[in-house]
Structures are given as structure tokens and as C-alpha cells.
Amino acid sequence: MSDNLVFRFDVQGNDFTSAGQASVQVKKNLRQLGLDADTIRRVSIAMYEGEINMVIHAGGGVAEVIVSEDYIEIILEDRGPGIKDIDQAMQAGYSTATETIRSLGFGAGMGLPNMKKNTDSMEITSTIDVGTRIVMRVML
């Protein structure tokens, strides 16, 4: 469809101070579009967890949010180390985060399951030493 809205963000890696800025901006944009609070919240949680992951696990990446008539799609793409075992990474509590990350309030291994829980579909493609691409959809 030609009238899809697309928001695109460069997510800086290893800059924890700014981690989450893209998600804050997306939340603002979605509020301006007048979408319902529950939908915005689900998108916000999924994107924020994914954005934090790109910062702490992959050295940054690109985030794209597409708003169409029927759904909101969140695409997160990075050139990080990749995920060896996606099934394992999806398990609640599984995390390779460092102690430093934990002291900052993240790294409990809840991110990927939480992203799945808050979206209607989620697809992960990942190649070791190449990167990770996550596509999530929330239906409107």
C-alpha cells in the first residue's frame, strides 16, 4: 500500500545513555496518530526490548516501524554477532548479558519472550557473525 507510514531510526551501539530513544519517538508518533493505548503499549514494549537488545548484544542497528491500515510492523536489523540457538534465546531467563548490563536494570532474559508475548507475530532470522533481523507485527 502506498500510504503506509514508515519511521526509521539508527540505533547507536554501546551507548547505553541513549538506548531506548527510538522507542520513545515511536511512542510519540503513534500517540499522534491517535491509535488506542493498548496497541501503542504493546508496540512500545516489543520495540523497546528489541532496541535495548540491539544496543547491549549487537552494537546497534537500524529500527524501522511501518504503520499500515491493518497492522504495525517493527523491523530490527543489526550486524552483531548473531544468535546461535534461537529456541534457547527465546526461553525466559536465558541471557548472555554481562554483570554491567544487569546493574543497569537489564539482562534478565525476559526480552525476547516479552516481545513475542506483546506481538501477534514475530520472526527471527540470525546468522552467526553476520547479524540478526527481527520482524514483529501487531494487528490493528
Partner 1 sequence: MKISKMQELLDADVLCCEENLGKHVYSAFGCDLMSDVLAYVTDQAVLLTGLVNPQVIRTALMMDMTCIIFVRTKKPNDEMIQLAKEHGIVMMSTAMTLYTACGTLYSNGLIGTKEVGK
Q: Which residues bind Mg ion (CB under 5 A)?
A: 53, 111
Q: Is 94 in the site for ligand ADP (CB under 6 A)?
A: yes
Helix orientation angle between 37-58 and 21-32, rounded to the nearest 10 degrees: 160
Dist. CA 17–CA 110, nearest whole Å: 21
Interface with partner 1 (CB under 8 A), residue from 13, 30, 48, 58: 48
The least CB distance from residue 99 to Mg ion, in Å, is 15
DSSP assignment of 23-77 equals HHHHHHHHHHTT--HHHHHHHHHHHHHHHHHHHHHHSEEEEEEEE-SSEEEEEEE
User: Could you tell me which stretch among 38-46, 61-69, 77-85, 120-128 binds partner 1 (CB under 8 A)?
Assistant: 38-46
Q: Is 109 in the site for ligand ADP (CB under 6 A)?
A: yes
Q: Which residues lie near ligand ADP (CB under 6 A)?
A: 49, 53-54, 57-58, 78, 80-81, 83, 89, 94-97, 106-112, 132
